């Protein structure tokens, strides 16, 4: 079967990979690749953030986690297995297990920051987009054709898969897909433990995370509704707040290297369905790398003969 994929971020590339493994002839069309994609800006640590519905997300995330863990021994893929801590306002040693941990093992433990607040502790694969995206693209037979897509229906192929991220808002006429502003500060490692990632969700209005890479740290974060069609603009106050939170948590980060901004493609529920010859796979919010393989497998399954369209 000949299948055209629209979009070359992590969702588009993993979907192409899943389809090629099933023997399909794949084309990829996109307006951006590599460092110019939203995927390249992502912190890209395993954690289901700003994505729904919870029951499906937990399953997609668990399947993706197993896939990333299996790829980690190949150092060129840019995947490392970290220990993750999510600090929340839950009191006591045995609060209800978080919804995102429905299919993985988590425990309660003190977080390795100032005050040692209790946190959920879990294994967290971390992907370096600048390594992983070209690694994955190199394993595809399909090459990315850079051009603008005006209409999904006009694209060639037996099927067309919409992995366009925020671009799906116009291509699918979907006003439920909204941009969420994100901003990160990248610093030198300093004296931070590069095997540990920490997320602090105690104040949802000022979320914080530190995600170590091999040669730098990713500090965040923010998730702010953004006007559709307006490009993201760096907010220096956000960066100052992020660095102040790192200091308050006792994280000895290094010098600031650069800042980056982007827009997450957020939808209350990931759209993963087939309508006629169009398969939609978008709306992953802040969890593209966390959900990519689970969603790619389901998107590929929707391409099989006999699949019922909605």
Tell me: the pLDDT tens digits for 193-202? 999 999 998 8
Q: pLDDT value at position 296? A: 98
> Two tokens at 258?
């650069």
Please say if the pLDDT value at position 160 is more than 70.
yes
What is d(CA 24, CA 18) in angstroms, rounded to the nearest whole number? 9
Q: pLDDT value at position 77? A: 98
| Residue pLDDT, tens place only, 18-63 | 999 999 999 999 999 988 999 999 999 999 988 899 999 999 999 9
Check residue 121 and give left, alpha or beta (phi > 0: left; psi -120 to 50: alpha). beta
Please say if the pLDDT value at position 310 is more than 60.
no
Nearest to 162 by CA among 274, 49, 63: 274
| Residue pLDDT, tens place only, 174-190 | 999 999 999 999 999 99
Question: What is the phi/psi pair of residue 232, to 5°?
Answer: -70, 150
What is the mean predicted confidence (pLDDT) over 262-275? Answer: 97
Higher pLDDT, 248 or 203: 248
Look-up: residue for tokens 């896939």? Answer: 67
Please say if the pLDDT value at position 13 is more than 80.
yes
Strand, coil or helix: what is 165? helix
Q: Residues 194, 216: contact at Cβ < 8 Å?
A: no
**Domains of the chain: residue spans and CATH:** 2-301 (3.50.50.60)
| Residue pLDDT, tens place only, 60-97 | 999 999 999 999 999 999 999 999 999 988 766 667 88
**pTM for the structure as a whole:** 0.95
| Residue pLDDT, tens place only, 93-133 | 667 888 888 888 999 999 999 999 999 999 999 999 999 99
Distance of CA 236 to the CA centre of its chain: 24
235: exposed, middle or buried (Cβ count in 10 Å: 0-12, 13-18, 19+): middle
């Amino acid at each position: 079967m000949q299948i055209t994929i629209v979009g070359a971020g992590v969702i588009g590339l993993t979907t192409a990979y899943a389809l090629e493994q099933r023997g399909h002839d794949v084309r990829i069309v996109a307006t951006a690749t590599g460092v110019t994609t939203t995927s390249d800006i992502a912190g890209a640590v395993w954690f289901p953030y700003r994505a729904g519905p919870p029951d499906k997300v937990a399953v997609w995330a668990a399947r993706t986690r197993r896939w990333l863990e299996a790829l980690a021994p190949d150092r060129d893929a840019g995947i490392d297995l970290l220990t993750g801590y999510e600090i929340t306002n839950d009191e006591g040693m045995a609060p209800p297990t978080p919804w995102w941990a429905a299919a993985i093992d988590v425990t309660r433990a003190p977080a390795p920051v100032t005050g040692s607040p209790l946190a959920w502790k879990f294994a967290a694969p971390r992907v370096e987009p600048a390594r992983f995206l070209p690694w994955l693209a190199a394993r595809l037979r399909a090459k990315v054709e850079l051009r603008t897509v005006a209409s999904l229906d006009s694209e060639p192929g037996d099927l067309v898969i919409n992995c366009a991220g925020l671009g799906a808002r116009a291509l699918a006429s979907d006003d439920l897909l909204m941009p969420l502003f994100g901003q990160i500060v990248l610093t030198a490692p300093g004296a931070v433990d590069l095997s540990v990632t920490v997320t602090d969700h105690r104040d949802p209005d000022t979320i914080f995370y530190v995600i170590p890479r091999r040669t730098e740290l990713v500090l965040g974060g923010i998730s702010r509704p953004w006007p559709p069609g307006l490009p993201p603009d760096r907010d220096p106050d956000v960066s100052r707040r992020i660095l102040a939170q790192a200091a308050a948590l006792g994280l000895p980060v290094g010098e600031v290297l650069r800042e980056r901004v982007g827009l997450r493609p957020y939808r209350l529920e990931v759209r993963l369905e087939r309508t006629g010859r169009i398969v939609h796979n978008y709306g992953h919010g802040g969890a593209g790398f966390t959900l990519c393989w689970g969603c790619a497998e389901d998107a590929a399954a929707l391409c099989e003969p006999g699949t019922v369209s909605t």
